[in-house]
Amino acid sequence: MLPLTSRPRALTTVDALLTEGLAHPDRVAELRQVTSEFRLRISPLMREAMGNLATGPLARQFVPTPAELDVRPEERTDPIGDLTHKVAPGLTHRYPDRVILAVTQSCDVYCRFCFRRETVGGDGALSDADLDAACAYIAAHPAIWEVVLTGGDPLSLSARRIGAIMDRLSRIPHLGIIRFHTRVPVVFPERITPALIRALKVRPAVYMVIHTNHAQELTGVSCAALARLAQAGIPLLSQTVLLKGINDDPDTLEDLFRTLLRNRVKPYYLHHSDLARGTGHFRTSISAGQAIMKVLRGRLSGTALPTYVLDIPGGFGKVPIGPAYLTPDAGGWRVTDPQGHSHLYRDPV
Ligand code: SF4
């Protein structure tokens, strides 16, 4: 694998898209308007993996389109209410036992549907002073046993900086879990170096939740990076966003979830797309998502099935929204099996 400095550069401008044949010359003005508001970056690996498929599942996730200028009335600048629960710079405390710590606003790709698209790409990494303030808050709240590192993408930081953050968090005795939410092993796997893995060997258990939406993202080098993490003993989970025209059909998701499981990544969440501004063209209905989950339940083992969830707009938390298999009936329960047949079940008295 090429070292970080020898790889081709990321695509970050509309001009670069034009040169690569990923933008139509007639749409340049609109694309400049989109990218003046929502940052553009496509990692070299994702550029390579999308090939010439300017409308394929990878291009649709990373290449801006004029559709992003269509902002709908229900869409919000802070779709899941991060700001409502912000307690210090970079720190969100929504649930009693865990906090979200945004350690950087930078990512190696900027996904066109990102629910934090208003903030990613902003002012770089959390300062030492802000990290100290966040750690002081966590230390003062013994009920917090898990820190979710997010951003931006926390693994876009250097191994040295991640080591410093791990060291700081490890000194908080009541912390049991440090969880990374990241796209790096998929989109920029060169960052999964021995130095990074050494930095992750700390006392709180480190979990990695990998964001990936289509099996085409899981290139050979990405799978090798996942293997390095798995071999280091880091439990791997995935999160996927349900995206219209990209993965909103059972065959595509089945392929993704089987590929993940083969690579020792347990499918964890399938997110209903959030109400971020300019992302309506990616959104399916909840009933469409439930229908997909119903089909998948009939095809896949529980190990391959994520939970279909909605982050309730406004910061009210995440809830499962998968299809219902159980309804009350005649003092018992009417249960639907994966083939759609109905059965009566009574609790033993
Ligand atoms: S990598 Fe994650 S945080 Fe960054 S743009 Fe994509 S979805 Fe948003």
* CATH number for position 269: 3.20.20.70
CA of 116 to the centre of ligand 1 (A): 7
Is 82 annotated in the active site? Answer: no
**pTM for the model:** 0.94
| Structure letter (DSSP) for residue 105 | S
When the pLDDT of each residue in the chain is averaged and rounded to a whole number, the result is: 94
Q: What pLDDT was estimated at residue 193?
A: 98
Q: What is the pLDDT of residues 126-178, one digit of tens each?
A: 999 999 999 999 999 999 999 999 989 999 999 999 999 999 999 999 999 99
**Average pLDDT value for residue range 84-105:** 94
Domain carrying residue 231: 73-323
Q: What pLDDT was estimated at residue 7?
A: 58
Look at the chain and report how many structural domains it folds into: 1
The DSSP code sequence of 165-231 is HHHHHHT-TT--EEEEEESHHHH-GGG--HHHHHHT--SSEEEEEEE---GGG--HHHHHHHHHHHH
**Average pLDDT value for residue range 200-219:** 97
**Average pLDDT value for residue range 311-325:** 93
**Average pLDDT value for residue range 18-26:** 93
* Maximum separation of any 2 CA atoms in the chain, in Å: 72
Kindly indicate the confidence band of residue 108, based on its pLDDT and cuts at 50, 70 and 90. very high
Q: Is 271 in the pocket of ligand 1 (CB under 6 A)?
A: no
Q: What pLDDT was estimated at residue 3?
A: 52
* Whole-number percent of the chain with pLDDT over 90: 88
Q: Give me 101's structure tokens.
A: 């710590």
* 177 neighbors 145 (Cβ within 8 angstroms): yes
* Whole-number percent of the chain with pLDDT over 70: 98
Q: Single out the residue of 133, 144, 165, 128 nearest to residue 93, CA to CA.
A: 144
CA of 184 to the centre of ligand 1 (A): 10
**Average pLDDT value for residue range 80-100:** 92
**Average pLDDT value for residue range 300-327:** 95
Residue 200 falls inside a structural domain: yes
Angle at alpha carbon of residue 49, lines to 300 and 276, rounded to 5°: 70
Q: Is 185 in the pocket of ligand 1 (CB under 6 A)?
A: no
Q: Is 38 in the pocket of ligand 1 (CB under 6 A)?
A: no
pLDDT value at 114 more than 60: yes
Closest Cα to atom 6 of ligand 1: 111
Residue 204 falls inside a structural domain: yes
* 41 neighbors 121 (Cβ within 8 angstroms): yes
Residue 175 falls inside a structural domain: yes
E strand or H helix that includes residue 59: helix 57-62
Q: Is 110 in the pocket of ligand 1 (CB under 6 A)?
A: yes
Which of 41, 113, 120, 279 should be mutated for ligand 1, with most atoms under 8 A from CB?
120
Residue 107 falls inside a structural domain: yes
Q: Is 42 in the pocket of ligand 1 (CB under 6 A)?
A: no
Which of 43, 110, 273 should be mutated for ligand 1, with most atoms under 8 A from CB?
110
pLDDT value at 53 more than 80: no
Q: Using CA atoms, how far apart are residues 177 and 309, in angstroms rounded to an integer?
A: 22
Residue 262 falls inside a structural domain: yes
Q: Single out the residue of 106, 123, 254 nearest to residue 182, CA to CA.
A: 106
